Structure 1
Amino acid sequence: MLKRSRGVTLIELIAGIVVLGISLAIITSVLGPVLLKSADPWHQVRAAELGQSLMNEIFGKAFDQQSSRSGSLLRCDEAGAKPCTPAPELGPECRNGAPLCAPAQREQREHYNDVDDFHNLDVSGDEINSIFGSADTRLQNIYRAYRVQVQVSYVSAQTKRIQLRITTPTGDVIEFAALRGNW
């Protein structure tokens, strides 16, 4: 008696490939979004590092252009002292001391000396650099796809609110806020 060998027919083979293809498509569609979100905690930590670093830099500056940097007894807007910078004038001062100037004539970040100089700061990619304004390729590589936006506003005559918005490479926006008092 001869044994008959039994193989796989072409139809069975095609049906198996179709079932395998459908299975892989389902698995990929389920795991794909999970894989994309797996980097979110890493980006959130990077954003927190960047936000804390920038907040430390801002808090290391004087309260106002008219504030004494040596810690005198008079604060801006007090009797006998110079007035604080008006809200519409918040931002970097003109390099030549003029009240109004073109953006290109304003002081650069390495010369920021008070909190409100950071108002409307909007940097991303290679523009994110060290406190001293020097290009640090290590920082540029780490934060290349991030964006930082800063807003400074008055809460009261002697208090400014600093708001940082950091946008991660995945498009998430992480916000930080702090109050800086003139005391």
Structure 2
Amino acid sequence: MRSLKCGFTLIELIVGIVLLAVALTGILGLLINQAPQAVDPVQQVRAAQLAQRLSGEILQKSFDEHSDHNGGRYRCGEQVAGVTISSCSTSYGPDGEPASYAYNDVDDFDTAGSWVDANTLTQTAEGVSSEEYRNYQVKITVSGADFSDGTFKSCAAPCSVGKRIDLQIKLPDESVLDFSFYRGNY
């Protein structure tokens, strides 16, 4: 009786290995090109979370240094019972507070056109450093806005109607995301 031949010849094995190597090279080439872009959505989500955190922090502060910080009963630039409340600030930026956790009004967050480390703005107390947003940078610009007529046009300081806050976040890959929101004097 003759035995049946089973298996592959040496030539068939070599051809199979070469084809497998070519296929794996092509697949790995595609994956390697996509690897750097796989991190981008994660960084963008973290930047959006940082923007939401900062916007919440900024919007909960008083409108201006001369506004009533305890309940907002009196607004800067208005008259109450014949008494004129101090006019709104003409310069934006910190009013001598040591760090962001001590800021008490919206314009204290203005970074004067400079990029600052995001961790300095997320610090919750003196000596408590947060490394949650390492390598992220923030630029905040506060400007007066008059939206009393619905046009949201800018106005020169002192502007007692509203403030526009432009928040830019620079990701670790040097790309920049822009966010803008308004704070009314109410």
Normalised by the length of structure 2, the TM-score is: 0.69
Which residue does the alignment assign to 1:176? Answer: 179
Cα 1:175–1:125, aligned 2, differ >3 Å: closer, same or farther?
closer
Confirm or deny that 1:116 pairs with 2:101.
Answer: no
CA offsets per residue over residues 124-146 of structure 1, 9 Å max, x none?
A: 2653533335433xx41x31111
Measure the CA separation in 1 of the matches of 2:99 and 2:115: 13
Confirm or deny that 1:64 pairs with 2:64.
Answer: yes
Tell me which protein shows more helix as a share of its residues: 1
Confirm or deny that 1:40 pairs with 2:40.
Answer: yes
Confirm or deny that 1:150 pairs with 2:140.
Answer: yes
Measure the CA separation in 2 of the matches of 1:75 and 1:125: 30
Contact 1:128 1:143 in 2 (8 A): no
Contact 1:92 1:116 in 2 (8 A): yes
Contact 2:100 2:122 in 1 (8 A): no
Normalised by the length of structure 1, the TM-score is: 0.70
Contact 2:100 2:120 in 1 (8 A): no
Measure the CA separation in 1 of the matches of 2:43 and 2:72: 42
Confirm or deny that 1:84 pairs with 2:88.
Answer: yes
CA RMSD of aligned residues (A): 3.0
Confirm or deny that 1:166 pairs with 2:169.
Answer: yes
Which residue does the alignment assign to 1:13? Answer: none
Measure the CA separation in 2 of the matches of 1:59 and 1:107: 20
Which residue does the alignment assign to 1:101? Answer: none
SS class of match (1:149): strand
Measure the CA separation in 2 of the matches of 1:114 and 1:72: 11
| Percentage identity across paired residues of the two chains | 34
SS class of match (2:93): coil
Measure the CA separation in 2 of the matches of 1:155 and 1:126: 28
CA offsets per residue over residues 1-54 of structure 1, 9 Å max, x none?
A: xxxxxx99xxxxxxx8xxx79x84x76654333110001111111111111111
Contact 1:123 1:147 in 2 (8 A): yes
Contact 1:166 1:173 in 2 (8 A): yes
Cα 1:134–1:68, aligned 2, differ >3 Å: closer, same or farther?
same
Q: Letter of the aligned partner of 2:87 in structure 1?
A: P
Measure the CA separation in 2 of the matches of 1:148 and 1:92: 15
SS class of match (2:55): helix
Moved over 6 A (4+): none
Q: Letter of the aligned partner of 1:68 in structure 2?
A: D
Contact 1:57 1:131 in 2 (8 A): no
Measure the CA separation in 1 of the matches of 2:46 and 2:119: 16
Cα 1:129–1:73, aligned 2, differ >3 Å: closer, same or farther?
closer
